[in-house]
Structure 1
């Protein structure tokens, strides 16, 4: 899957302002913070909603899912965008501060692509092979049917929901190899792999421009599946996930109106246009 041409610098604030004064923005605006994977999607949703809702003000910033969840707990954002589910200790902090466990709202589906350089001869990898590559057991492409060359590992930073999801669901909680290079944002991972014939990375399927997506097998002998709309929606692609909004309490007022629009046919169609998939 390729990201439709909505280029932006991930990890930096994307502020969308509809022209009201600062006091009006503070009084009436909605703040959204979190996942870098979702920041472009959040931006497009905000732009479309503001265009259809005169007077609506929405500010979207990235920084990572963990950063967004921390902002939700600290009361500095209305909505957290997260590419992973909240952890138990994060929910406990919400409960201790607000007497609530928060509200989880799945808003889109995504697949985690495995990025390879376009010259890489490896066509598919199993989940166990990916686990051994990213934990440092397999260090040469020859071990998985490729050329005799060292594998260069690229990953997201540990405040990223993508980093956590990959660790939990692919590495099964094991530590990443010390050789793994962590980068600030999916775009940085894609750019690194695109320049490195021996590189491997992972990230949202919508961002895989300039690299080759590797087929993924659940186990040896199983079918190699690429992340497509069909395989992500039906769950046959092995690394498929939901993307979430989190709020401290059940959405109300302007926040509820925006969330309802995101889950509407128009909002879900826009998610597909950007490169993600409807939640239902």
Structure 2
């Protein structure tokens, strides 16, 4: 039965059929950061609502938002805010701005190998490392060893957020190794004693996350529910779902409402991200 369902979904993708064409099926595409959470949401929701089928795929925030514009997904997951040009493309495609839902919070984490003695870095040091200005761990209090930078592909919302908020718009080091997803970044760092990478807070298994300082005179802060919600962790962000307003009804609307309910937000915490404060859960 599972193989049959997967074949149907694949046929739909090949034929370019709109996601909404599949009766009783909700399609979700986009952010690699969100994919593990979206898969768990789908699993829990389908167990409670056996008449609903939810298909979740990743690919990156940019890929999900492009699919929304092309009407090949119902929901687009994104780890960054939608860009003005993407809003314009959606308006051309379906006549309205897409509806934005905040669905969780994340402390974008910086990961190093578990044996790396470095425990904390400032935002400036992170910028210097990831742009290639600092190339050796001894320059930031570590061992005398070359730094290996692991990054994400440029379709990733996490890549764009990190570039904007940590690198201040500067380019990543030309030597940075581009990985296909956050899990791949973490796997590489876990194996490379000189590696450093970044990704969502839920992906930390096998590596060590660093505490981050806003500047040399600020305290080092680790990502946690408290520090992300109160903004003291310097690299916090919202995670989003975008939808064509015309599809925001029926089963899709019920699913979105459940995601932002206490039940849905408990899944957020179980996965390793941080629930939205109640005051920020849209009705």
In 1, Cα distance between the equivalents of 2:144 and 2:35? Answer: 38
Instruction: Give the unaligned 5+ runs of structure 1.
Output: 1-13
Q: Structure 2 matches for 1:87-166, cutoff 5 A? A: 87-166=83-162
Report the 3-state secondary structure (helix = DSSP H, G, I; strand = E; otherwise coil) of the residue aligned with 1:62.
strand
Report the 3-state secondary structure (helix = DSSP H, G, I; strand = E; otherwise coil) of the residue aligned with 2:23.
helix
In 2, Cα distance between the equivalents of 1:206 and 1:233? Answer: 16
Find the counterpart in structure 2 of residue 238 from structure 1: 234
Over the aligned positions, Cα root-mean-square deviation in angstroms equals: 2.2
Find the counterpart in structure 2 of residue 62 from structure 1: 58
**2:161 is equivalent to residue 182 of structure 1:** no
In 1, Cα distance between the equivalents of 2:29 and 2:200? Answer: 18
Q: Provide the aligned length of Structure 1 versus Structure 2.
A: 266
User: Is residue 17–residue 58 contact of structure 1 (8 Å, CA) maintained in 2?
Assistant: no
**2:264 is equivalent to residue 267 of structure 1:** yes
Higher relative contact order (CA 8 A, sep 6+): 1
In 2, Cα distance between the equivalents of 1:25 and 1:186? Answer: 31
Deviations 1:115-142 (A, max 9, x none): 0111111111100111111111111111
User: Is residue 16–residue 47 contact of structure 1 (8 Å, CA) maintained in 2?
Assistant: no
Find the counterpart in structure 1 of residue 252 from structure 2: 255
In 2, Cα distance between the equivalents of 1:220 and 1:248? Answer: 44
**2:200 is equivalent to residue 222 of structure 1:** no
Deviations 1:233-253 (A, max 9, x none): 222111111110000216211
Change (3 A) 1:16 1:125: farther
Deviations 1:21-53 (A, max 9, x none): 999981221100001111111111111111111
User: Is residue 16–residue 57 contact of structure 1 (8 Å, CA) maintained in 2?
Assistant: no
User: Is residue 117–residue 196 contact of structure 1 (8 Å, CA) maintained in 2?
Assistant: yes
User: Is residue 80–residue 245 contact of structure 1 (8 Å, CA) maintained in 2?
Assistant: yes
- Which of 17, 25, 38 does residue 34 from structure 2 map onto? 38
Find the counterpart in structure 2 of residue 74 from structure 1: 70
Post-superposition offset of 1:229: 2.1
- Kindly report structure 1 stretches of 4+ aligned residues shifted beyond 2 Å: 14-18, 20-25
Change (3 A) 1:119 1:54: closer
Report the 3-state secondary structure (helix = DSSP H, G, I; strand = E; otherwise coil) of the residue aligned with 1:38.
helix
Deviates further, 223-232 or 189-198: 223-232
In 2, Cα distance between the equivalents of 1:46 and 1:17? Answer: 15
In 1, Cα distance between the equivalents of 2:5 and 2:43? Answer: 9
In 2, Cα distance between the equivalents of 1:253 and 1:32? Answer: 16
TM-score by length of 1: 0.90
Report the 3-state secondary structure (helix = DSSP H, G, I; strand = E; otherwise coil) of the residue aligned with 2:59.
coil
In 1, Cα distance between the equivalents of 2:226 and 2:47? Answer: 31
Change (3 A) 1:47 1:17: farther
Post-superposition offset of 1:16: 11
In 2, Cα distance between the equivalents of 1:122 and 1:86? Answer: 35
In 2, Cα distance between the equivalents of 1:125 and 1:16? Answer: 49
